[in-house]
Amino acid sequence: MITEVPATGRLGVIGTGTYLPALVRTNDDIAAAAGVSAQWIGERTGIHTRHFAGPEQAASDLAAAAVRHAAADAGIDVRDISLLICATSTPDELGPSTACRVQALLGAGNAVALDVSAACSGWLFGVKVAHDWLRNDRLHDDRPPTGRRPGYAAVVGVEAYSKFIDPADRGTAVLFADGAAATVLGPVEDRHGFSAFEFGSDGTLADRVLIPAGGSRDPASPATVEGGGHRIHMDGRAVSRFIADTFPRLVKDALDRNGLTIADIDCLICHQPNPVLVRRIGRDAGIPDDRLVIVGDGVGNIGAASAPYALAKAVALRPLNPGDRVLITVFGAGLTWGSALLTWGGRTESGPAPSVPTASVSAPSVSAPSVSGPEAQPEADPEGPSS
């Protein structure tokens, strides 16, 4: 029987977890195939290492490990999860949802499982779905007492980009990598939790970053395989312009809407496409270096996992304190973007204990890179890789 969660109007993050595959690839490892030098990669991206999944690992394997770690951090059993959302651009297969694969791997039989597809923005889109889902359950739960009661939500961002990279394409091969990061949402004390969600999309620019083949528009065939249609294609200049416009606009709009200034923000979490580019845009926007969390140096662009990975590292290494105000901004293919405020705070005092101890995940965790990363990096080459 799922553990009942006390009704409350505020929902926030009560647990975080990450998983990086064991295989580490340095710039030296990938430079030759991409036709560049390791120095070129470091100077233009700020990325120094990234992780690749093994041939036996799919996105669901990475995601399940991250969710299990997040559940353990939250002090709950996976059977206490009533909603499981997976955000990914690299699903195990076109159907069923990767979330259902994750549910099965975890044994989270009480969870409704579904995917959210919003590329690198996907985790925050999923958080909004989970937030409103749980809030509705708590405010309007009229099910019989013997029925399943509202539980917790797990939202995981995961990518296995290495399986879709053309090693000879310097614009993508030096950036994209694999990893997963998850958050558990549950009730938090008053004045804490999520607020001020804002989202947007521009489908007229959908072809700027995509995997063009394999769907219903261009089904898999010998021609699509031969032509590289199942690899990531990206217009680097267009994406760089999108990021340079969208990131500071999201920050300014979120502050203005909520009557805040950057001095009121203790921690800024954003998607991690290119550390050099993110640092430069952040400084131009007046964001202090010590507020902007950078983790892409050690993991590269892990898509939907980037923002929750940065949040998890901020929690672990800064750390975040109750009452700290976190601004989260995301942007990605689609094109898509979003923002939210998160006032950090622990679970409510009356939150339930786990039904039984959560078993440890079978796949080993990999030590995390520094949250801040190296600070002395040259500015991004406007013609270099960006997303």
User: Which letter, b or e, does each residue of 328-342 get, where b requires 16 or more Cβ atoms within 10 Å of its Cβ?
Assistant: bbbbbbbbbbbbbbb
Contact 59, 88 (CB under 8 A): yes
Q: Of 27, 110, 274, 301, which residue is the catalytic one? A: 301
- Residues with Cβ within 8 Å of residue 263, at least 6 apart in sequence: none
Reduced to 3 states (helix: H, G, I; strand: E, B; else coil), residue 69 is helix
Nearest to 303 by CA among 113, 60, 53, 120: 120
Tell me which residue of 265, 210, 270, 262 sits closest to 246, measured CA to CA.
Answer: 270
What one-character-per-residue DSSP string does 7-63 give?
Answer: --S-EEEEEEEEE--SEEEEHHHHHHHHTS-HHHHHHHH---EEEE--TT--HHHHH
- The DSSP-derived string for 218-263 is S---HHHHHTTTTS-EE-HHHHHHHHHHHHHHHHHHHHHHTT--GG
Q: Is 110 a catalytic residue?
A: no
Of 48, 69, 100, 120, which residue is the catalytic one?
120
Measured CA distances, 226 to 61, 133, 222, 242 (Å): 28, 43, 6, 30
Which is the catalytic residue, given 51, 192, 271, 274?
271
Which positions are annotated as active-site residues?
A: 120, 271, 301
